[in-house]
Amino acid sequence: MKGLGELEAAIMGALWSSEGPLSVREVRDHMVYDREVAYTTVMTVANILFHKGLVDREKDGRAWVYWARETHAEYTARVMGEVLETGPDPGATLLRFVERFSDEEMARLHHVFRQVRDRRGPGRTRTSPTA
């Protein structure tokens, strides 16, 4: 499992914060990055992100416009799940992760559990290798 590089993260950040698709020029203008990046570099990395399946694109005149395939929260949750599954005992890893939570984070986690239970409805469960 490989995370995003710095430039990939900057491009994804611009797309995640956008209300709609962005051209490469708009991505470049909206990126938060510590140095100037050439238009062609942004174009190349956006193309790489497309081939990785992280963004979609379509032609708008002569230019491509890009948008993220999933929200930042969805991406982060997916990556966290992938990382969890890389260990020999995902249940033990999850336990060690949750043990690090503060009381405030534990309260947030309980709230999230209630939200998930409410969304699933009565009697619906999901089996998981981490359970």
pLDDT 10s digits, 15-44: 999 999 999 999 999 999 999 999 999 999
| Residue 55, strand partner residues | 68
Burial of 11 (0-12, 13-18, 19+ CB in 10 A): buried
> CA 47, CA 52: separation in Å to the nearest integer?
9
Number of DSSP helices (H) and strands (E) in the chain, helices first: 6, 3
Predicted TM-score (pTM) above 0.75: yes
> Angle at which helices 39-51 and 6-17 pack, to 10 degrees?
80
pLDDT band at 126; cut points 50, 70, 90: low
